């Protein structure tokens, strides 16, 4: 049987990918950002997942305003890194476990979560940067990856509660797949940031820290937070944090926090990262 053993929360700041791709991670500005991922890379080697279920958001790369799926599940055999304006990132192609992805699509829809099925999709920094920080720069990604794109770019984004409940349905889907697979689920994006208009540059470390604390200890309460609080406290792009609830919903009620990293600044945002292991 496939099992979800752990969850990873991780920012996707595009400049982190650029720092890796251009070899400047040792510079004073970037060093502390990457230092916090050293333990994570060791943990990934140890955990050695067969499959990563990666919850992320597309930034008008695969989707523009002509089509806005709330939840889109990647069922294609592979996903090419997209050209986001400066050429595609020099990272490996992302390979799927298409049989498991199709099983999850069927299970979710029959479980009344009517996701969109993507049989073709390019992936942007929202997906590739979390893989890069967790794995470094391998020739091939060491795990297969099933992407779930969540709309947090165009109003209305899904609620934290809907994301949390979807996480539970994803767990039911994965745990009803009859192949011995170690699955780690990623919730990505955030943390607090606003890229536009009068509050551009907003970062709220107290709010971020409290979010990380409650993710471990009060996940249900945290998932009830209304959108307006993300916007007010964590900025317009802080709403990306709802994706972390999908990850948390897929884990046990009680988890072990094995690693946390928080650093300000990185580009226009705070870098937040957490690793949670299931106890069962
Ligand atoms: C930045 C952060 C993001 O989440 C993003 O998608 C683009 C840019 C930034 O901090 O610059
Ligand atoms: Fe973003």
Q: Is the dihedral of CA 186, 73, 243, 197 positive or negative?
A: positive
Looking at residue 280, its pLDDT comes to 81
Indicate which atom in ligand 1 lies nearest the CA of residue 189: 4
Cα distances (Å, whole numbers) of residue 188 to 66, 108, 109: 24, 21, 23
In the block, tokens 């406290």 appear at 233
pLDDT confidence of 250, banded at 50, 70, 90? very high
Task: Give the distance (Å) from ligand 2 centre to CA of residue 134.
Answer: 17
251 has a pLDDT exceeding 90: yes
Looking at residue 258, its pLDDT comes to 98
* Residues whose CB falls within 8 Å of the CB of residue 143, separated by 6 or more in sequence, listed in order: 49, 50, 51, 52, 184
Sheet containing strand 255-266, edge to edge, reads: 116-118, 71-74, 144-150, 51-56, 182-188, 3-10, 269-278, 255-266
Token pair in block for residue 35:
């230092």
Q: What is the pLDDT of residues 57-115, one digit of tens each?
A: 999 999 999 999 999 999 999 999 999 998 999 999 999 999 999 999 999 999 999 99
Known catalytic residues?
125, 193
| Contact 269 CB / ligand 1 (< 6 Å) | yes
Work out the percent of the chain whose per-residue pLDDT is above 70: 100
Looking at residue 192, its pLDDT comes to 97
* Residues whose CB falls within 8 Å of the CB of residue 139, separated by 6 or more in sequence, listed in order: 92
Can you give the residue ranges of every domain in the chain? 3-278
If DSSP states are collapsed to H, E and C, what string results for 124-142? CHHHHHHHHHHHCCCCCCC
Question: Which ligand lies nearest the alpha carbon of 194?
Answer: 1
pLDDT confidence of 277, banded at 50, 70, 90? very high
Q: What is the pLDDT of residues 27-53, one digit of tens each?
A: 999 999 999 999 999 999 999 999 999
CATH 3.40.830.10 fits 3-278, yes or no: yes
| Contact 58 CB / ligand 1 (< 6 Å) | no
Q: Tell me the HSE value of 246 on the side-chain side, using a 13 A CA sphere.
A: 29
Looking at residue 272, its pLDDT comes to 98
Q: pTM of the prediction?
A: 0.98
């Amino acid at each position: 049987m496939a099992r979800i053993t752990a969850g990873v929360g991780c920012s996707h700041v595009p400049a982190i990918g650029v720092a890796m791709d251009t070899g400047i991670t040792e510079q004073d500005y970037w060093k502390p950002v990457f230092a916090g991922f050293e333990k994570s890379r060791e943990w990934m080697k140890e955990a050695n997942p067969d499959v990563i279920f990666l919850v992320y958001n597309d930034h008008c790369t695969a989707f523009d305003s002509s089509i806005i799926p709330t939840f889109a599940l990647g069922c294609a055999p592979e996903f090419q890194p997209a050209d986001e304006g400066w050429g595609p990132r020099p990272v490996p192609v992302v390979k799927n476990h298409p049989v498991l992805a199709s099983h999850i699509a069927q299970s979710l829809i029959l479980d009344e979560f009517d996701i969109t099925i993507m049989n073709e999709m390019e992936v942007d920094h929202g997906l590739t940067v979390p893989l890069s920080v967790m794995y470094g720069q391998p020739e091939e990604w060491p795990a297969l990856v099933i992407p779930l794109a969540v709309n947090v770019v165009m109003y209305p984004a899904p609620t934290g509660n809907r994301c949390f409940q979807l996480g539970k349905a994803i767990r039911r889907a994965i745990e009803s797949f009859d192949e011995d697979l170690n699955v780690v689920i990623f919730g990505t994006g955030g943390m607090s940031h606003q890229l536009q208009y009068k509050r551009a540059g907003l970062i709220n470390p107290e709010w971020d820290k409290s979010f990380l604390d409650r993710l471990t200890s009060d996940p249900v309460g945290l998932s009830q937070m209304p959108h307006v609080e993300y916007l007010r406290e964590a900025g317009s792009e802080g709403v990306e944090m709802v994706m972390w609830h999908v990850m948390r919903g897929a884990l046990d009620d009680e988890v072990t926090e094995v690693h946390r990293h928080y650093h300000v600044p990185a580009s226009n945002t705070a870098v937040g990262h957490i690793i949670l292991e299931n106890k069962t």
